[in-house]
């Protein structure tokens, strides 16, 4: 895998709107301003919006080619050290015809986002570039009052440092609060409560290692069958990670999607599964039941290690998982450890 250069103070970070363009709308632009200031104050980085990133919902929806141009421009600009997604959405797949994969390969740099940005991560993976499933500008960097400490620490650790041997901690606190995105709410702090679960081990007793690969489960079916969906050889010996969106898909949807992964042969060749905390813990127990139904009852994969309740994606707070990096799952110690650096100096 190609490893991008790690961040350092004073670096410039590009913001791209590759899916939903809401951050540029009049009622949401304050979130961009919060994020820009916070990134400067907390990380000593300069946030640079790409030319079309703040043009708003309607423009972004109508111009997938312009979104792709922003992404390509960000990769080509040698003054840009990293690319952060404004937010997810539901139609990043429309960018696919306009992506120059050689540009990405020839100009590697940190790329980060989650949710619908899963599709962009598969683009990066296609050319062998490590990318980062982590916070977005609008939601996490633009969080009202303050950024979650857990998320900020993950950014400082994983994007700025050598993470070889880093055991990703389970967040001791979480939030189920939903604060409406309005400027008058910008001083409203989400309440944090104690997490009663920590990492749960659904099955498995042997320590396993593999490269991280996955994303938002809701998005998988949009990309299956396209040129960027990893073939079976790329899934071999992987640690599959997945999480579910704010749409809170039904347990039946999770069942059907896992059955599709099983039918592709993916579940049989991977080393383990890491499952994100469902937002607000909706369907918390039901998801566990259907995962075990497909993996154990239907496919008899009793040795497949499964970690549950991981702080990624639509959970609050979230950390970062780097695609392609070798990861160790120890179900006895309940540890998730990154075994190699994800960036270079």
pLDDT digits (tens, 9 = 90+) for 120-143: 999 999 999 999 999 999 999 999
Q: Is 10 exposed, middle or buried (0-12, 13-18, 19+ CB in 10 A)?
A: exposed
Query: Residue 49 forms beta bridges with which residues?
Result: 15
Domains and CATH numbers, the chain: 12-160 (3.40.50.10740), 166-338 (3.50.30.60)
Rounded CA gap, 270 and 152, in Å? Answer: 31
- Mean pLDDT, the chain, whole residue set: 98
Strand order in the sheet with 335-338: 166-167, 335-338, 326-330, 208-216, 238-243, 272-276, 305-310, 200-203
Strands 326-330 and 12-16: unpaired
Q: Determine the pLDDT at residue 54.
A: 98
pLDDT digits (tens, 9 = 90+) for 22-52: 999 999 999 999 999 999 999 999 999 999 9
> What mean pLDDT comes out for the span 207-216?
98
> What mean pLDDT comes out for the span 241-248?
98
pTM over 0.85: yes
Cis peptide upstream of residue 317 (ω within 30 degrees of 0): yes
pLDDT digits (tens, 9 = 90+) for 142-195: 999 999 999 999 999 999 999 999 999 999 999 999 999 999 999 999 999 999
């Amino acid at each position: 895998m190609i490893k991008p250069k790690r961040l350092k103070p004073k670096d410039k970070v590009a913001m791209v709107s590759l899916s939903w363009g809401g951050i540029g709308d009049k009622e949401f632009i304050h979130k961009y301003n919060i994020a820009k200031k916070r990134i400067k104050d907390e990380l000593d980085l300069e946030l640079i919006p790409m030319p079309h990133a703040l043009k708003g919902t309607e423009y972004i929806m109508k111009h997938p080619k312009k979104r792709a141009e922003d992404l390509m421009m960000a990769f080509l600009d040698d003054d840009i050290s990293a690319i952060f997604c404004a937010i997810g959405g539901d139609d990043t797949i429309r960018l696919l015809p306009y992506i120059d994969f050689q540009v990405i390969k020839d100009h590697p740099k940190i790329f980060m986002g989650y949710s619908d940005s899963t599709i962009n991560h598969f683009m990066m993976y296609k050319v062998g570039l490590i990318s980062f499933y982590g916070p977005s500008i609008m939601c996490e960097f633009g969080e009202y009052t303050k950024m979650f400490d857990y998320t900020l620490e993950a950014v400082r650790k994983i994007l700025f440092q050598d993470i070889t041997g880093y055991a990703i901690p389970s967040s001791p606190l979480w939030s189920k609060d939903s604060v409406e995105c309005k400027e008058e709410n910008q001083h409203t702090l989400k309440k944090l409560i104690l997490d009663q679960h920590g990492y749960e081990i659904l099955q498995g007793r042997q320590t396993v290692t593999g490269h991280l690969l996955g994303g938002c489960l809701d998005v998988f079916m949009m990309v299956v069958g396209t040129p960027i969906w990893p073939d079976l050889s790329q899934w071999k010996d992987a640690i599959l990670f997945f999480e579910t969106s704010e749409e809170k898909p039904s347990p039946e949807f999770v069942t059907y999607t896992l059955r599709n992964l099983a039918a592709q042969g993916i579940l049989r060749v991977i080393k383990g599964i890491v499952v994100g905390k469902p937002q607000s813990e909706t369907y918390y127990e039901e998801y566990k039941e259907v995962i075990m139904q497909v993996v154990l009852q239907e496919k008899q994969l009793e040795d497949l290690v499964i970690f549950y309740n991981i702080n990624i994606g639509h959970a609050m707070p979230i950390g970062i998982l780097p695609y392609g990096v070798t990861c160790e799952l120890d179900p006895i110690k309940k540890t998730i450890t990154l075994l190699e650096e994800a960036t270079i100096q």
